[in-house]
Structure 1
Amino acid sequence: MKKMLRDSQELFEGIKGAYPRAMFKSVGYTKEDLRKPIIGVVSAWSELHPGSYSNKELAQFVKAGIWAAGGTPVEFHTIAVCDAIAQGLGMHYSLPSREVMAAEIEVMVGSGGFDGLVLLPSCDKSPVAMLMAAARLNIPTIFLPPGPMLSHFDENGEQRIMSDIKEAMGAIKKQLITDDQFEAVESDTCATVGVCGMMGTGNTMGCLIEALGMSLPETATTPTVYAEKRRQAKKTGERIVEMIRENLRPRQILTPANLDNAIRFLMAIGGSTNVILHLPALAREAGFELSLDRIDELSGATPCVAKFKPSSKFTLWDFFQAGGVGAILGVLAPLIQKDVLTVTGETISAYSRKVRNSDAIRSLNDPYHPQGGIVILKGNLAPDGAVIKVSGIKNPPNRKVGTAKTFDSEEDLMDHIMNKEIKPGDVLVIRYEGPAGGPGMRELSIPAALLTGMGLGDSVSMITDGRFSGATKGFCIGHVTPEAHVRGPIAIVHDGDSIEINLEQKQLNLLISPEEMAERFAKLPPRKPPVNTGFLGLYSRNVGQANHGALL
């Protein structure tokens, strides 16, 4: 295979290196600087949202560490999409932004000559995009997760975080709170910069980065605004220079054994269902396959020992105080593979810490759930799989059967929620929201939160070929594959059909005969592409199914 990357020595060598040397000298680098390892400091930075806002400052501390250790830092940025802002129509772009960010980093590194990378993700899709880029490029790489924001404490001493505002939307619609109370939630939800203080996708992925050993210990849950975060940034910059000298590369860390550990960690914390998309995509970039069957196997053998808002009263502040990622790894020590390598040069065992709050983090003998917080369902409605976060359901029944109400978009569903009756026992089926059919596999967390705020979160089920947030709670089943756009069975559900959700047997079934299913498929009209132009058009035509990570 043709070599596609070059290091700084190749970039700057000889007469032909005069071109790039001149470019670097023009922005202040000296001849001596160009003889040191050139290290990309890459942050998902923007002024759009709190998860990315601090990265520009943190990057300066990373660069200080690199300079001090004898390297030469070169900073650049990627886009940083926020799912909270992207809700609704903007959500078409959120999952596709993962591919753009990974490609941005590949293009910058491929066109330059870098010896190593420090990656500073923000939230949502940027952590996995950067992991994918790290595995793809396979040059020495270390991460600095930005960490969570601090929580606001309301008049009752309760911590207020981002998921509360979504539930407040449903509460104000039902006139359960006043306009002033709603305004207070809106104003105080994000008390500082940092990743929202719930176990959404942003913090789940930040914690997974540490659990994978791709960042230094204790970096994922240290609050963004803490002075310790700046010291961690300096240490991260110092460590990447050592990693280059040791030639320690991502694919030595991102192994099948380590991703197995990551799955166990995910299940133990009741983390985001979005990670079920991201880990197979990461595995593919690292050179191997990770199936839903393997994820489900590990989930069934891993107790859920911690739950965080919105699935419990505990926030990321509580997680930090209880010992963070290292405390979970300590609890999981009998289950995980301990000899996997990390960016420290030591094994993952060095990351273990003691639990400091046994209410927030339980033992393997006293878990919240005997199996992981996420379950993979299959059946005639989802032959290739679907995903449900059982840790977000209060007292989930082993089996339930409900009556289908079908919607061909999130907008149709929102109109129904806001203007029509929804009854306990309804099964809301939202289709044509998959990776290709959406396009972009939109997150339906606002409708889910509205139902929760209306008091219907556990009595009404939602089933979609789209996805939900890590902050979602209630009976929400996403990632139904094959999706409706490629003629998956979810496309032939009719209003009034009975649907079985069997958590005990991990089944999701449309209760009609095989003959009726065949007849409905025969009558199903072809579906036009949702978008023909631009990046979304390219994405819709080329994206794979959710069970394989929705990869281009």
Structure 2
Amino acid sequence: MTSENTTKLRSQDWFGKEGKDGFIYRSWIKNQGYPAHQFKGKPVIGICNTWSEVTPCNGHFRELAQSVKNGVYEAGGFPLEFPVMSLGETLIRPTAMLYRNLAAMTVEESIRGNPFDAIVLLTGCDKTTPSLVMGAASVDLPTIVVPGGPMLSGRFQGKAIGSGTDVWRFADDVKTGKMTLEEFEDAEACMSRSIGHCSTMGTASTMAVMVEALGLTLPGASAIPAADSRKKVLAHMSGMRIVEMVKENMLLSSVLTREAFENAIMMNAAVGGSTNLVLHLLAIAGRIGVEVDLEDFDKIGSKMPFLLNLMPSGKYLMEDFYYAGGLPAVIKEMSGFLHKTAITVNGKSLIDNSKGAKIWNEEVIATAENPILREGGIAVVKGNLCENGAVIKPSAASAHLMQHTGKAVVFETIEDYHARIDDPDLEVDETCVLVLKNVGPKGYPGMPEVGNMQLPKKILEKGITDMVRISDARMSGTAYGTVFLHASPESAVGGTLGLVQNGDLIEVDVHNRKIHLHVSDEELAERRKNWKPVDLGYNRGYVQLYINTVTQADKGADLDFLAGKSGHEVQRESH
């Protein structure tokens, strides 16, 4: 790199300084054995690593980071790996979503406070992807994402099983005696048999598709299995590309345009992605300063063809998706809908990047002319029960329940639900509507994945596998059912959902985007007079900050003071 370009490098405010400050910055980094020519005058690439032994989906990221470093070195850059809070959906309590915004804050401050010219984000488990992109968006340096990849397909008793999705089925089978506890335990290792995140189109895979559709990855990145050697090749090539992005001054904001967000919404519909995308995409848009609202997911996405036959909305798994052509094949089929002007991190559009793609298995990837469903995506319903909206994923729901009226069976808290759901005396039948309160952003707090409430045992024993369920919670992207989620305003802040009583009639009509509580305004006003919020019992630390400042689900559940970019300038010197 020429001296003219060198003066433009942000890292030279550290390593290019003269006198005491420059001495300190250079001297201490040399204690790791780096010669001065590595970091003085070369782009410094920060590798944001979410490796952790308590984030099993990201347990292979040490090796992945090394592949990125190899690429950075080859392209003439200097890589520096740094850790941030890692969110393992499978282990962390009470829910990883509670800490998404905290992780995003650690990413933002880690990037801004250190001598980086560009960033590589290593993402995998559900919340690691949005939290890293949110944090990077706030700083707005050249950024590329390397998704960690899904697990290899599970195999149990001669059949393919999908992580997450089959857990719900197996749990129901154990409850009804169709499966023994010994078989249930055997299935554990069969399901999670390799490195990587969930093998279904759950939230982790949805997030990988999201970043590729946004243009933040190299082509084809989202579906490569974690155990496939081509994942390391992609990481290496990403390391090379990020150095070129510094030279081109390709900031994150030049990729994350309104058109890119619309492309991501359309692609999520095409693959049957998780409802969690709504929260995360809204939060990312808020950080980068692009106007996206809840209605966009319905207006832009709900009329898109659904093309991907993957669990939980279909039969196959992410490994099959990769072999069938991966996301480029879906992009090519969707090219008539997508924006052609939105660029990706390689400088080309999604459509240009997918010109040579082919579908190798039409059982897995359908064509736009002959889709699995003519209309997929996410539907947004509104009514007096949730004035600001709730969401449902029609491709994972039961057609006969999309228009339904039933009596409410109400659970005030998740603890109340667990205590009573299998009570033989619970007054419930398959026509009822299960309602779960106080599990929204503030009410839980953190908005857990409990919206796909398991059905009462006595309903399962009748052979019924689905009922209408409504809550202000989320559900796992691996889950399925006629489940209305993210009801806003939530119960804990006085939303109408918090006023529902046992026996109230609730009408849902997805086709007409309607959800209505058949209780008069006068009666609701009387109930509101007696309503009291649940005592959450938190009074310190980050959780208290979260409760006080988190926005509602229809705004992305970010902290209200973090909206908008803050830039990469460091306000004060340290020496």
TM-score bracket, normalised by the shorter chain, equals over 0.9
Structure-1 separation of matches of 2:533 and 2:183? 48
Q: Which of residues 397, 404, 407 in structure 2 aligns to 1:400? A: 404
Cα shift at 1:6: 8.5
- Cross-structure match for 2:498: 491
- Cross-structure match for 1:145: 147
- Cross-structure match for 1:359: 363
- Cross-structure match for 1:28: 33
- Give the letter for the 1:23 counterpart: W
CA contact (8 A) 1:124 1:202 kept: yes
CA contact (8 A) 1:63 1:73 kept: yes
Deviations 1:33-62 (A, max 9, x none): 121111101111111243110111100111
Cα distance 1:477–1:325, how it changes in 2: closer, same or farther (>3 A)? same
1:460 aligns with 2:467: yes
Counterpart secondary structure, 2:408 = strand
Counterpart secondary structure, 2:398 = coil
Deviations 1:346-366 (A, max 9, x none): 122233222221121212232
CA contact (8 A) 2:47 2:80 kept: yes
More deviation, 348-357/264-273: 348-357
Cα shift at 1:298: 0.9
Cα distance 1:160–1:467, how it changes in 2: closer, same or farther (>3 A)? closer
Structure-1 separation of matches of 2:278 and 2:509? 20
- Give the letter for the 2:551 counterpart: G
Root-mean-square deviation over aligned CA pairs: 2.0
- Cross-structure match for 2:88: 82
- Give the letter for the 2:334 counterpart: L
Cα distance 1:446–1:257, how it changes in 2: closer, same or farther (>3 A)? closer
- Cross-structure match for 2:541: 534
Structure-2 separation of matches of 1:105 and 1:455? 49
CA contact (8 A) 1:83 1:91 kept: no
Counterpart secondary structure, 2:150 = coil
- Cross-structure match for 2:305: 303
Cα shift at 1:67: 1.0
CA contact (8 A) 2:401 2:467 kept: no
- Give the letter for the 1:331 counterpart: E
- Cross-structure match for 2:275: 273
CA contact (8 A) 2:266 2:377 kept: no
- Cross-structure match for 1:190: 192
1:434 aligns with 2:434: no
Deviations 1:156-195 (A, max 9, x none): 3334433212321221111111223212212211010101
Cα distance 1:150–1:244, how it changes in 2: closer, same or farther (>3 A)? same
- Give the letter for the 1:147 counterpart: G
Structure-2 separation of matches of 1:450 and 1:98? 32
Cα shift at 1:368: 2.4
1:7 aligns with 2:10: yes
Q: Which of residues 22, 36, 54 in structure 2 aligns to 1:17? A: 22
- Give the letter for the 1:7 counterpart: R
Cα shift at 1:85: 2.4
Cα shift at 1:447: 3.3
Q: How does 1:331-480 map to 2 (within 5 A)?
A: 331-352=333-354, 353-420=357-424, 421=426, 422-444=428-450, 447-448=453-454, 459-480=466-487
Structure-1 separation of matches of 2:317 and 2:172? 21
Structure-2 separation of matches of 1:65 and 1:447? 46
Deviations 1:7-27 (A, max 9, x none): 211112111222211221112
Cα shift at 1:493: 0.2
Cα distance 1:411–1:328, how it changes in 2: closer, same or farther (>3 A)? same
CA contact (8 A) 2:455 2:466 kept: no
Q: How does 1:130-279 map to 2 (within 5 A)?
A: 130-279=132-281
- Cross-structure match for 1:70: 76
Cα shift at 1:415: 2.2
Structure-1 separation of matches of 2:251 and 2:468? 44
- Cross-structure match for 1:53: 59
CA contact (8 A) 2:156 2:191 kept: no
- Cross-structure match for 1:545: 552
Structure-2 separation of matches of 1:518 and 1:258? 43
CA contact (8 A) 1:169 1:453 kept: no
Cα distance 1:188–1:449, how it changes in 2: closer, same or farther (>3 A)? farther
Counterpart secondary structure, 2:508 = strand
Q: Which of residues 128, 131, 135 in structure 1 aligns to 2:130? A: 128
CA contact (8 A) 1:397 1:503 kept: no
Cα shift at 1:148: 0.6
Counterpart secondary structure, 1:266 = helix
- Give the letter for the 1:256 counterpart: R
Gaps of 5+ in 2: 1-7, 560-575
Structure-2 separation of matches of 1:449 and 1:30? 62
- Give the letter for the 2:473 counterpart: G
More deviation, 312-321/487-496: 312-321
CA contact (8 A) 2:55 2:125 kept: no
Cα distance 1:536–1:202, how it changes in 2: closer, same or farther (>3 A)? same
Q: How does 1:112-127 map to 2 (within 5 A)?
A: 112-127=114-129
CA contact (8 A) 1:307 1:360 kept: yes
CA contact (8 A) 1:380 1:510 kept: yes
Counterpart secondary structure, 1:364 = coil
Structure-2 separation of matches of 1:62 and 1:546? 35
- Cross-structure match for 2:521: 514
- Give the letter for the 1:9 counterpart: Q
Structure-2 separation of matches of 1:381 and 1:530? 27
CA contact (8 A) 2:401 2:482 kept: no
Identity across matched positions, percent: 34
Cα shift at 1:100: 1.6
Cα shift at 1:95: 1.1
Structure-2 separation of matches of 1:105 and 1:252? 20
Structure-2 separation of matches of 1:60 and 1:264? 34
Structure-1 separation of matches of 2:146 and 2:533? 46
Counterpart secondary structure, 2:503 = coil
TM value normalised by structure 1: 0.95
Structure-2 separation of matches of 1:376 and 1:124? 22
- Give the letter for the 1:403 counterpart: K
Structure-2 separation of matches of 1:212 and 1:344? 12
- Give the letter for the 2:412 counterpart: D
- How many residue pairs get matched? 544
Structure-2 separation of matches of 1:388 and 1:142? 31
Counterpart secondary structure, 2:410 = strand
